Amino acid sequence: MKFLVAFPLILAGLASAQFGGLRPGQRLGAAIGNVANRVQDRLAGIASRLPAPPALRDVENFGDFLTQSGKTYLNEADRVLHENVFSARKNLVDAGNEAFSKGTSTYKLAVNAFADLTNAEFLSQLTGRRKSNQGESKVAASRQSAHVQPGGNVPDAFDWRQQGGVTSVKYQGTCGSCWAFATTGAIEGHVFRKTGKLPNLSEQNLVDCGSLDFGLNGCDGGYQEYAMAFINEKQRGISKSDQYPYIDNKETCKYTNSLSGAQITGFASIPPKDEALMKKVIATLGPLACSLNGLESLLLYKSGIYADEKCNDDEPNHSVLVVGYGSEKGQDYWIIKNSWDKNWGEDGYFRLPRGKNFCGIALECSYPIV
């Protein structure tokens, strides 16, 4: 199944945008950002051939799940395996939401289109952060020291989505390419901060062209710093997404200099566990590409501040984009863009406790120099 979006629809969206006036209390920059985001949503449909996972509603049993998700399996044994996984996940959702209703949990869960994935399928399809000796040997020339201008304004809450500096939520499909989505998101945001224009950049370019000598292995994993070093040192740019659409698979590299939609001059790494500097960089420079440890409870996340303590027990396995921060009922949190489509979580985002290195979010954070 493929989605086709006609270019005239984009023009119609622009024509119908509310340029004529602002809502009460709305700033001009935010209004322009909202228009830009709507256009980016239309472009995202053109720039990807990958169908989005369906949104599920009120799933009570495996039959409901199959009907709404449209999933099929290789054979009866495979179906039974995934039915058993689904049953365990449904129990986890029910227990988690009961805890939320009693006030002993800060987040809600939901049965979604990923609820039948085995842990191995989850890790191979929806994560992909992989570090390697090859990649580490390549990043030194591109790495710079993280810094912010002294005296910069660091507000108590900040969200790059409200500034128009974040593209629409994307979907990595069954390809372990989270590292590519974290990389493009960071570059998109920092280019926007510098130029006022928000590019939509190509993850497929990185999946196809990223080389093993830079520690990039397509759908079998990579790491955001390796990707930034590759873009800076070897490819000298990265393609726009509409010219190099995402296909959920690794193919032959098709990049040429004429496709370039952005360039960087390196990247900077945040010292591990320095969440104060993370906050300053996000508020003054742009989003951060970070790693964290993703669990099956995150797979089923629906809303709230995700605080499953078990995610603190292991090393990072997933790359994401931190786009802002805030507080709710005395709990500080990070705002994180994921690559599991809009039908997951809070319209494709989730919130994570801030100030506690929760899930290892503050161990591996970087941003591009543009």
Find the catalytic residue in 112, 200, 217, 338.
Answer: 338
Host H or E run for residue 320: strand 318-328
**Residue 42 within a domain:** no
Q: What is the pLDDT of residue 22?
A: 31
Q: What is the pLDDT of residue 303?
A: 98
Using a 10 angstrom Cβ sphere, with 0-12 exposed, 13-18 middle and 19 or more buried, the burial of residue 63 is exposed
Domain count, the chain: 1
Is-catalytic flag, 338?
A: yes
> Per-residue pLDDT averaged across 93-98, rounded?
98
> Per-residue pLDDT averaged across 136-149, rounded?
88
**Residue 262 within a domain:** yes
- pLDDT digits 0-9 by tens, 187-212: 999 999 999 999 999 999 999 999 99
- pLDDT digits 0-9 by tens, 34-76: 444 444 444 444 455 688 999 999 999 999 999 999 999 999 9
Output the CA–CA distances (angstroms, integers) from residue 9 to 17, 20, 34, in the order listed. Answer: 12, 20, 17
Q: What is the pLDDT of residue 50?
A: 82
Q: What is the pLDDT of residue 297?
A: 96
Domain that holds residue 279: 129-369
Find the catalytic residue in 82, 112, 175, 178.
Answer: 178
Is-catalytic flag, 175?
A: no
**Residue 95 within a domain:** no
**Residue 133 within a domain:** yes
Q: What is the pLDDT of residue 47?
A: 52
Instruction: Using the predicted structure, report yes or no on whether residue 151 has a pLDDT greater than 80.
Output: no
Is-catalytic flag, 178?
A: yes
| pLDDT confidence tier of residue 343, bands split at 50, 70 and 90 | very high
Of the two residues 152 and 348, the one the predictor is more confident about is 348
CATH number at residue 240: 3.90.70.10
What is the spatial distance between Cα 289 and Cα 186, in angstroms, rounded to a whole number? 6
Instruction: Using the predicted structure, report yes or no on whether residue 13 has a pLDDT greater than 80.
Output: no
Phi and psi at 180, nearest 5°, equal -70, -40
**Residue 220 within a domain:** yes
> Per-residue pLDDT averaged across 251-258, rounded?
97
Instruction: Using the predicted structure, report yes or no on whether residue 346 has a pLDDT greater than 80.
Output: yes
Host H or E run for residue 86: helix 76-101
**Residue 114 within a domain:** no
> Per-residue pLDDT averaged across 90-107, rounded?
98
User: What residues does 365 pair with on adjacent strands?
Assistant: 270, 290
pTM exceeds 0.75 for this model: yes
CB atoms within 10 A of CB 325: 25
Of the two residues 80 and 148, the one the predictor is more confident about is 80
Average pLDDT, the chain: 89
Find the catalytic residue in 232, 318, 359, 365.
Answer: 318
**Residue 157 within a domain:** yes
